[in-house]
Chains A and B, each alone.
Chain A
């Protein structure tokens, strides 16, 4: 229902240039640049207080930036209020109007534009069908479940055919099963209408499930932008590696083009001399030898349901976390015994310095 991405020019739909927001000297968002392309399903991911909500609200028009510009579809909207921007938002807590029925809620924006009643009715039916709430039109808000309320909020925003749909922690209030169901719904709707969605979340699994592009934020800055697999497999900073999924961080030193880990192993890795950190995902670490091998003493074995998690202590004192997808091999891992663990160089990333 938002405009189809017919205009596939090289220009992105949303352009943020040097955008920043400070509250009385404290920077909530430090000057940043960001582009969102037509048809993107973009997630802004980060811990509480990283500035992601502020950023979203700046795009929506509820927060005035301290510096920088916001362009939507080539138009500078920085000075415009939310009523005038081609964006619509699904709010945290939904903000449904308690005194109006579902139909009246969904049609609110169109009624403001003085659209004729029959036309509003048609559009409302269309919107409700899109979010799979057919027939709910006459219900009152207090009779709806959390998931249903969320869908009404979604319909109310989508019916306006915004160029960009913004979602503020859309699934935060839902329980796990409902969350999974709604994730599928959002993906389906996005595919069906081909619109541009930007949503904010602190939940990394949610970002992965929904987004084609992830923007990781920390302390007001963008740490990394990329597709989910890039963020996960190729983290550019310790923060990203740590925030997104579990990771092993092993320290080492590089000298003469080769790195020696404190845990004992060494390998060829050209680059500047100094301290480095090796980052390996637990799934890449297996029992036995690999391109990089270390000795570690097993301290814990945890049954995760779909895999075994093996925790071991390295000679350097650091912790190593490994995975074994075959849960029946539980007996292989004896607490207290020292074993070899290895991984391939392709699964490992090196970060310079002690960041």
Chain B
């Protein structure tokens, strides 16, 4: 097979990506400098949309990034614990556990959000249980429509995205290295931090980055679960593109969010590099 053939083989997939994603993103960036007059898009060069983003949505953006970071940290931590247990403690059930995890991935994005909305709602399962146990007299409205609820729901959706790559990374860690560490005098904690974690550094950061991006960019969850206190930037971006029809604003906000997210990841990378040198 000649290299020429390869180019033809790659053409369809790459064309789709280039045409449907990369090109329009470029266009979108340009649009962020345009303006809107009476619902019509005007090619322009103005920083209006960007100004609006920083002024009006700066705080919300930071807050959105925070939710993303918290969700990602929680997912990676719990995911690592689960993956570690499945890899080293579960024996032959390890693979089955991960399989179940993979299956829940496909369980419907919207369905999961709806499920939590019902469970946490005023007449939902949690409140019912708490009332039955006598802990509460009346349903607690704060279970739903709060920041905590948003993080919880995001975590439920994103946890498998942590478990799967971490399990894959842990599979490359040979059990013999763990035994060797014990033989040399390491306690289980020491073995974990000095032998296991260093070997899956790359997987840990990749999982964190992926989950962070997905969480920060989510808009359906805060819309259905967040209420007013739990809103995130994504909702307003969606708004600009659907009802408000203010594309420059939406574009600026989108790239603002993307840029800020990338900054967070870059900062994270630096932090890790610093710690390694220590």
Interface set of A (CB-CB < 8 Å, partner B): 60, 62, 81-83, 87-89, 91-100, 108-109, 112-113, 153, 156-157, 160
Q: Tell me the dominant secondary structure on chain B's binding face.
A: helix
Cα distance A109–B184 when bound, in Å?
A: 5
Chain B residue contacts of A160, Cβ below 8 A = 184-185
Report which of A95, A96, A108, A109 forms a contact with B179, defined as CB distance below 8 A.
A95
Interface pair B174/A93, CB less than 8 Å apart: yes
Partner of A82, one of B179, B195, B198: B179
Q: How far is the CA of A270 from the CA of B119 in the complex (A)?
A: 90
Q: Which residue of A lies closest to B195 (CB)?
A: A97
Q: Which residues of B contact A109 (CB under 8 A)?
A: 184-185
Between-chain CB contacts (< 8 Å), 15 pairs:
A82-B179, A83-B183, A83-B186, A93-B174, A93-B176, A95-B174, A95-B178, A96-B180, A97-B177, A98-B177, A100-B198, A108-B194, A109-B184, A109-B185, A112-B184
Given A82-B179, A91-B179, 6 more pairs with CB closer than 8 A: A60-B183, A82-B182, A83-B187, A95-B180, A97-B199, A160-B184
Does B181 belong to the interface (CB within 8 Å)? Answer: yes
Chain A residues with Cβ below 8 Å from B190 are: 112
Closest to A100 in B: B198
* Complex alpha-carbon distance, A309 and B187, angstroms: 56
Which B residues touch A112, using CB under 8 A?
184-186, 190, 194
Query: In whole angstroms, how far apart are the Cα atoms of A98 and B183 in the complex?
Result: 17
Q: Given A95-B179, A95-B180, answer yes or no on A83-B185 (Cβ-Cβ < 8 Å).
A: yes
Provide the bound-state CA to CA distance between A89 and B199, in Å: 22
Once the chains bind, are A156 and B184 in contact (CB under 8 Å)?
yes
Bound-state CA distance A100–B181 (Å) is: 13
On chain B, the residues within 8 Å of A91 by CB distance are 176, 179-180, 183
Distance in angstroms between the alpha carbons of A100 and B195 in the assembled complex = 9
Chain B residue contacts of A153, Cβ below 8 A: 180
Q: Is the CB of B183 within 8 A of A94?
A: no
Least CB separation from A91: chain B residue: B176
Is the beta-carbon distance between A82 and B183 smaller than 8 angstroms?
yes
* Contact status A81-B176, CB under 8 Å: no
Within the complex, the shortest CB–CB distance from B111 to chain A, in Å, comes to 41
Complexed CA–CA distance, A153 and B177 (Å):
11
Closest residue of chain B to A162 (Cβ to Cβ) is B183
- Chain B's nearest CB lies how many Å from the CB of A337? 56
Q: Residues 155-191 of chain B: 1 if any A CB is under 8 Å from the residue's CB, otherwise 0?
A: 0000000000000000000101111111111110010
Per the bound structure, the CA–CA distance linking A263 and B180 in Å amounts to: 55
- Given known pairs A93-B174, A95-B174, A97-B195, the reply for A83 and B179 (CB within 8 Å) is no
B186 touches A98 (CB 8 A): no
Q: How many Å from the CB of B7 to the closest CB on chain A?
A: 34
Nearest Cβ on chain B to A104's Cβ, whole angstroms: 10
Instruction: Enumerate chain A residues within 8 angstroms of B184, measured Cβ to Cβ.
Output: 83, 88, 108-109, 112, 156-157, 160
| Contacting residues, chain A, for B176 (C-beta < 8 A) | 91-95
Chain A residues within an 8 Å CB radius of B179 = 62, 82, 89, 91, 95
In the complex, chain B residues 79-137 whose Cβ is within 8 Å of any chain A Cβ = none
Most A Cβ at <10 Å: residue of B182, B184, B195: B184
Most buried by A among B180, B182, B195, B201: B180
In the complex, A206 Cα to B198 Cα: how many Å?
Answer: 37
- Determine the distance from Cα of A164 to Cα of B255 in the docked complex, in whole angstroms: 64
Residues of B close to A157: CB separation below 8 A: 183-184
State whether A96 and B182 are in contact (beta carbons under 8 Å apart), knowing that A83-B187, A112-B190 are contacts in the complex.
no
Interface residues of B in 173-229 (CB under 8 A from A): 174, 176-187, 190, 194-195, 198-199, 201
B185 touches A113 (CB 8 A): yes
Assess the B183–A99 pair: CB atoms within 8 A: no
From 34 to 82 in chain B, residues with beta carbon under 8 angstroms from any chain A beta carbon are none
A-B interface, 10 closest residue pairs, ranked by CB to CB distance from nearest:
A109-B184, A95-B176, A95-B180, A99-B198, A95-B177, A82-B182, A82-B183, A83-B185, A93-B176, A89-B183
A112 → chain B, closest Cβ, in Å?
Answer: 5
Complex: A88 Cα to B179 Cα, angstroms: 11
A95→B173 CA distance, assembly (Å)? 10
Q: Which residues of A contact B178 (CB under 8 A)?
A: 95
Contact partners of B201 in chain A: CB under 8 A: 99
Check B177 against A96 for contact (C-beta < 8 Å).
Answer: yes
Q: How far is the CA of A153 from the CA of B195 in the complex (A)?
A: 15
Q: With A and B bound together, what is the CA distance between A217 and B82 in angstroms?
A: 41
How many angstroms between the C-alpha atoms of A98 and B199 in the bound complex? 7
Q: Is the CB of B182 within 8 A of A83?
A: yes
CB distance from A253 to the nearest CB of B (A): 53
CA distance A62 to B182 in the complex (A): 9
In the complex, which residue of chain A has the Cβ closest to the Cβ of B178? A95
CA distance A160 to B181 in the complex (A): 12
A15 to chain B, nearest CB (A): 21
Q: How far is the CB of B233 from chain A (nearest CB, A)?
A: 38
- Residues of chain A with a CB closer than 8 A to B182's CB: 62, 81-83
State the CA gap A175–B174 with chains docked (Å).
23
* Max chain B Cβ within 10 angstroms of own Cβ: one of A62, A96, A98, A113: A98
- Whether A99 and B199, one on each chain, are in contact in the complex, defined by CB atoms closer than 8 angstroms, is yes
Docked CA distance A296–B187 (Å)? 65
A81 to B178, CA, bound (A): 13
Taking the nearest CB of chain B, how far is it from the CB of A180, in angstroms?
25
Chain B residues with Cβ below 8 Å from A60 are: 183
A109 to B177, CA, bound (A): 13
